């Protein structure tokens, strides 16, 4: 029999197949994921593909109309009942007749749900841990008196080659009625964590059940974000978020750990609070999308180590001090009901592994999403919060650490700092000649010197400076010469501009008069210096471990990273030197990583391996941390050059401190001596 070349797009996987091979079968053999719920009976429509015709020179293949069989009976029947677009075929029915290019569409949304934009809409290749398997079970017969469940298991083996599955206990009492309700046709939801692990029947529905959902949830210390996703089409159906109710027990992580230490019921109260919020978010996404929570069969959670422990009901006290021991660092597999998450009775939960005592499952998810371990370039991934989680690496090696940045970047600890909310200054520019500022606030399009700003700002009110605004104002003050590279406000400028004024024993910069009066004090500058020095020192330790002096790419994750201007982050020396265009906000990378792990079990194995391979660095134990920290107190840095940044921004000339001056003198002297003493060759 002749073999034909078949190319699957977008994966590019290709192989040779005999005439008459169903496209679905060819895809399976090549490991190309094509959904199928009905097992090739032509009734679920999940296996749709598109054929591409023409000459594809790049791939050396000519695909023709005659390379695929005519519409078969199953397809005609399906097209009559449902809508099968003209260019679509059911891959379980269409046969390979010649060389063929097949496109796997990523939008096979049978029930036409509304797709929300809140989640990152990247296409995630699917191979979820839960499969929906339609079977027609043999009816009971007096001559072969086997039980309903046994005949169902036989059907699963025959049609889906799934043998010896475990059965979730709640189904034993349900199987009888479901089989009869479905007139002996049922759809079985099978959970299987890996190809080789034992399968488990987790739900049984009467007749064809052509939908199954999962949730992916990022439990942040400040906010919880949850996405409802179709396991069959991969589309995000609805998203919802809320603030973390644990805030009432403590603003930051360490105060929550202290709360547990001081209060006997503290851990339980916080565990209950976060689980309750998650259940409410599930209510919300189900209501928004009209989906029954009993159709949610899988769930993935990520969070920093303290959030991870509290969610699982583990005492986080050990994470409050050295050696920052995690109770469990590997991935956790559970039934959702075991942790009081209200989904389908048999629904499963997967929690990504934590990288280290301070670098959690959220950092693992961000790593999975951005994939430093999948690329040759040296990538730095930073999630800035009260504790910055940092991963630096490429395909050969990755290292990770965390740095105690404190809450200054989130608008706390500074005189006019506030959370990012309408009315907060988020962008600012200072004229280096006049030292006059112009700024933009959240909620108003115009800059403060543009028409229309006054009226709109009056409605909202100008209330303070948020994290990204703080970075910009201090960077602009440095670029305008208002503060020195050591962070000292230059009082002499008070003669030149009323914006600089004496404020106790130091000077401050006036951003805005009125109520509230917004100023940047010497203490504010110090708070940012301390935070950015902690972050940079952590990054620098990782760079030392990797033996690099600059990085190729920087990804800034999380809410703060999404709004910060990369150029200003570098001017302040928050991140190391890099080509400005290669510094990018990567948005909610942790949430997207969680969705990836939900939709494709291979990603779970990938991140488990990556986390095992990542070298963990404990910043507190590294002797050079202090030195890096001290150098990083300066803008952008006392010792590290920023040549790539200087191609875009003119930095003020560097000052030399007395130690550097001495070192420089010594170097010059030794160079002169070296020149004199060098032996002639």
Q: Which of 5, 23, 27, 44 binds ligand FES (CB under 6 A)?
A: 44
Q: Which of 15, 42, 206, 245 binds ligand FES (CB under 6 A)?
A: 42
User: Cβ of residue 94: shortest distance to ligand FES, in angstroms?
Assistant: 9
Q: How many residues bind ligand FES (CB under 6 A)?
A: 12
Give φ, ψ of 552 to 5 degrees: -85, -35
Task: Tell me which DSSP letter residue 356 carries.
Answer: B
**Binding status of residue 457 toward ligand FES by CB under 6 A:** no
Give φ, ψ of 536 to 5 degrees: -65, -40
For ligand FES, the closer of residues 43 and 361 by Cβ is: 43
**Binding status of residue 542 toward ligand FES by CB under 6 A:** no
User: Cβ of residue 28: shortest distance to ligand FES, in angstroms?
Assistant: 11
Q: Which of 40, 214, 385, 576 binds ligand FES (CB under 6 A)?
A: 40
In sign, the C-alpha dihedral spanning 418, 436, 648, 541 is: negative
- Say if strands 398-403 and 615-616 run parallel, antiparallel, or are unpaired: parallel
Q: Which two tokens stand for residue 25?
A: 């079968």
Stretch in the footprint of ligand FES (CB under 6 A) among 42-50, 112-120, 369-377, 392-400? 42-50
3-state class of 7 per DSSP? strand
Q: CA end-to-end span of the chain, whole Å?
A: 75
Helix axis angle, 522-546 to 467-479, nearest 10°: 90
Distance CA 628, CA 387 (A): 18
SS3 content of the chain, % helix, strand, coil (to 5): 35, 25, 40
Site for ligand FES in 222-251 (CB under 6 A): none
CA angle 195, 201, 207 (to 5 degrees): 115
**Binding status of residue 98 toward ligand FES by CB under 6 A:** no
User: Cβ of residue 10: shortest distance to ligand FES, in angstroms?
Assistant: 20
- Say if strands 166-167 and 200-206 run parallel, antiparallel, or are unpaired: parallel
**Binding status of residue 46 toward ligand FES by CB under 6 A:** yes
**Binding status of residue 45 toward ligand FES by CB under 6 A:** yes
Q: Which two tokens stand for residue 514?
A: 């009125």
User: Cβ of residue 75: shortest distance to ligand FES, in angstroms?
Assistant: 9
Q: Which residue is nearest to ligand FES (CB)?
A: 92
Distance CA 557, CA 589 (A): 6
**Binding status of residue 36 toward ligand FES by CB under 6 A:** yes
- Kindly state the helix (H) or strand (E) to which residue 157 belongs, with its residue range: helix 148-160
**Binding status of residue 90 toward ligand FES by CB under 6 A:** yes
User: Cβ of residue 153: shortest distance to ligand FES, in angstroms?
Assistant: 21
Half-sphere exposure of 455 (CA within 13 A, CB side): 2
For ligand FES, the closer of residues 94 and 470 by Cβ is: 94
SS (H, E, C) 610-655: HHHHCEECCHHHCCHHHHHHHHHCCCCCCCCCCCCHHHCCCCCCCC
For ligand FES, the closer of residues 231 and 531 by Cβ is: 231
For ligand FES, the closer of residues 36 and 405 by Cβ is: 36
Q: Which of 26, 92, 189, 215 binds ligand FES (CB under 6 A)?
A: 92
- Kindly state the helix (H) or strand (E) to which residue 297 belongs, with its residue range: strand 296-303
> How many other C-beta atoms are found inside a 10 Å radius of the C-beta of residue 549?
12
CA angle 223, 224, 225 (to 5 degrees): 115
Give residues with Cβ within 8 angstroms of 38, minimum separation 6.
44, 46, 92, 134, 208
Stretch in the footprint of ligand FES (CB under 6 A) among 37-45, 353-361, 492-500, 639-647? 37-45
**Binding status of residue 572 toward ligand FES by CB under 6 A:** no
Rg (CA), the chain: 30
**Binding status of residue 38 toward ligand FES by CB under 6 A:** yes
**Binding status of residue 22 toward ligand FES by CB under 6 A:** no
User: Cβ of residue 47: shortest distance to ligand FES, in angstroms?
Assistant: 3
For ligand FES, the closer of residues 45 and 220 by Cβ is: 45
User: Cβ of residue 44: shortest distance to ligand FES, in angstroms?
Assistant: 4
User: Cβ of residue 234: shortest distance to ligand FES, in angstroms?
Assistant: 16
User: Cβ of residue 33: shortest distance to ligand FES, in angstroms?
Assistant: 13
Task: Tell me which DSSP letter residue 182 carries.
Answer: T
**Binding status of residue 94 toward ligand FES by CB under 6 A:** no
User: Cβ of residue 35: shortest distance to ligand FES, in angstroms?
Assistant: 8
Stretch in the footprint of ligand FES (CB under 6 A) among 33-41, 55-63, 331-339, 446-454? 33-41
Stretch in the footprint of ligand FES (CB under 6 A) among 8-16, 31-39, 518-526, 565-573? 31-39
Considering only CA atoms, which of 86, 84, 99 is closest in space to residue 46? 84
Which residue blocks in 361-425 are alpha helix, DSSP H? 361-370
For ligand FES, the closer of residues 93 and 610 by Cβ is: 93
Stretch in the footprint of ligand FES (CB under 6 A) among 35-43, 229-237, 459-467, 647-655? 35-43
Cis geometry, peptide bond prior to residue 674 (ω within 30 degrees of 0): no
For ligand FES, the closer of residues 103 and 345 by Cβ is: 103
For ligand FES, the closer of residues 133 and 351 by Cβ is: 133
Which residue blocks in 547-623 are alpha helix, DSSP H? 558-563, 566-571, 589-599, 601-613
Q: Which two tokens stand for residue 237?
A: 């159906």
Stretch in the footprint of ligand FES (CB under 6 A) among 41-49, 197-205, 362-370, 420-428? 41-49
User: Where do contacts with ligand FES occur on this chain (CB under 6 A)?
Assistant: 36-38, 40, 42-47, 90, 92
């Amino acid at each position: 029999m002749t073999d034909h070349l078949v190319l699957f797009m977008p994966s590019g996987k290709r192989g040779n197949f005999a005439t008459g091979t169903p496209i679905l079968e060819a895809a399976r053999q090549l490991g190309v994921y094509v959904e199928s719920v009905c097992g090739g009976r032509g009734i679920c429509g999940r296996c749709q593909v598109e054929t591409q015709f023409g000459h594809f020179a790049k791939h050396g293949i000519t695909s023709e109309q005659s390379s695929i069989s005519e519409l078969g009976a199953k397809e005609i029947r399906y097209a009559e009942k449902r809508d099968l677009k003209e260019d679509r075929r059911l891959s379980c029915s269409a046969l390979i007749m010649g060389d063929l290019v097949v496109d796997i569409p990523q939008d096979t949304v049978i029930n036409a749900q509304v797709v929300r934009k809140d989640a990152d809409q990247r296409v995630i290749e699917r191979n979820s841990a839960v499969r929906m398997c339609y079977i027609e079970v043999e009816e009971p017969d007096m001559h072969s008196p086997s039980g309903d469940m046994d005949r169902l298991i036989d059907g699963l083996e025959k049609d889906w080659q799934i043998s010896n599955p475990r059965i979730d206990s709640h189904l034993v009492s349900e199987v009888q009625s479901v089989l009869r309700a479905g007139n002996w046709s049922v759809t079985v939801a099978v959970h299987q964590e890996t190809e080789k692990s034992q399968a488990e029947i987790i739900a049984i529905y009467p007749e064809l059940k052509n939908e199954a959902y999962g949730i992916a949830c990022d439990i942040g210390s400040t906010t919880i974000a949850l996405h409802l996703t179709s396991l069959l089409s991969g589309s995000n159906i609805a998203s919802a978020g809320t603030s973390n109710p644990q805030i009432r027990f403590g603003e930051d992580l360490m105060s929550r750990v202290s709360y547990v230490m001081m209060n006997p019921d503290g851990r339980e109260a916080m565990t209950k609070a976060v689980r309750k919020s998650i259940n409410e978010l599930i209510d919300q996404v189900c209501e928004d999308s009209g989906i029954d929570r009993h159709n949610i069969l899988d769930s993935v959670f990520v969070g920093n180590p303290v959030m991870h422990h509290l969610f699982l009901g583990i005492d986080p006290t050990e994470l409050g001090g050295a050696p920052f021991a995690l109770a469990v660092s590997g991935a956790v597999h559970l039934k959702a009901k075991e942790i009081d998450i209200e989904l389908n009775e048999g629904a499963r939960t997967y929690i990504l592994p934590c990288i280290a005592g301070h670098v959690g499952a959220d950092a693992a998810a961000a790593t999975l999403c951005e994939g430093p371990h999948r690329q040759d370039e040296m990538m730095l991934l930073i999630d800035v919060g009260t504790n910055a989680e940092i991963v630096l690496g490429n395909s050969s090696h990755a290292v990770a650490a965390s740095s105690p940045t404190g809450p200054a970047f989130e608008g706390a600890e500074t005189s006019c700092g506030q959370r990012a909310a309408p009315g907060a200054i988020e962008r600012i520019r200072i004229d280096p000649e006049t030292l006059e500022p112009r700024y933009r606030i959240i909620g108003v399009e115009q800059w403060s010197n543009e028409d229309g700003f006054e009226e709109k700002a009056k409605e909202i009110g100008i209330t303070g400076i948020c994290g990204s605004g703080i970075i910009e104002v201090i960077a602009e003050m440095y670029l305008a010469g208002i503060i020195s590279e050591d962070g000292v406000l230059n009082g002499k400028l008070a003669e030149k501009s009323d914006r600089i004024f004496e404020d106790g024993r130091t000077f401050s910069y006036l951003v805005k008069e009125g109520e509230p009066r917004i100023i940047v004090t010497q203490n504010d500058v110090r708070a940012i210096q301390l935070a950015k020095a902690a972050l940079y020192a952590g990054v620098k330790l990782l760079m030392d471990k990797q033996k690099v002096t600059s990085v190729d790419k920087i990804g800034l994750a999380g809410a703060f990273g999404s709004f910060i201007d990369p150029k200003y982050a570098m001017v302040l020396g928050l991140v190391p030197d890099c080509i400005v265009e290669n510094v990018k906000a990567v948005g909610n990378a942790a949430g997207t990583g969680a969705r990836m792990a939900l939709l494709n079990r291979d990603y779970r194995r990938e991140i488990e391996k990556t986390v095992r391979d990542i070298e963990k660095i404990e910043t507190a134990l590294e002797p050079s941390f202090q030195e890096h920290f001290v150098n990083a107190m300066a803008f952008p840095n006392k010792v590290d050059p920023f040549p790539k940044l200087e191609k875009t921004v003119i930095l003020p000339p560097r000052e030399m401190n007395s130690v550097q001056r001495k070192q420089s003198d010594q170097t010059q002297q030794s160079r002169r001596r070296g020149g004199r003493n060098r032996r002639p060759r």
